[in-house]
Amino acid sequence: MSACECERVDAPSLTQALELVNSAEIQRKLSSDNGYAHRISSSDISDRELAEDLFLRVLSRPPSPDEIKTVTTFLGSEPDRRVAVQDIAWSLLATNEFLLIH
């Protein structure tokens, strides 16, 4: 490969995906008072239902039993449910599964 602009590839790259996931815009959306993380964390759904909703919304699939256990354990260990939901959503966005498939 050369640095010639004529050989530029327009396909998205992993670097671009990581830049997007780590961007201030994504962080703003995750922490917004009007955002999904705030709405779902302040709802009265169970931790299991929350895990299922997050996985369906971000990865378009239900979580495995181990993933449900991980999420519910994490939610139970964190004092601020809203921050915990934001962290889980961000971690799902940063997975190879999301970056490479979605």
- Residue 63: domain span: 14-101
- For residue 61, count CB atoms less than 10 angstroms from its CB and return exposed for 0-12, middle for 13-18, buried for 19 or more: exposed
Kind plus residue range of the DSSP H or E element containing 21? helix 14-21
Tell me whether residue 56 is in a domain.
Answer: yes
pLDDT digits (tens, 9 = 90+) for 2-46: 566 666 666 666 666 666 666 677 777 777 788 888 999 999 999
- Tell me the pTM: 0.75
Q: Is 53 within a domain?
A: yes
Question: Into how many domains does the chain fold?
Answer: 1
Residue found under tokens 């327009």: 10
Flag whether 79 is in a domain: yes
Cα 31 from Cα 45, distance rounded (Å): 19
The per-residue pLDDT for range 48-99, each reduced to its tens digit, is 999 999 999 999 999 999 999 999 999 999 999 999 999 999 889 888 898 7
2 within domain boundaries = no
Distance CA(97)–CA(58), nearest Å, equals: 10
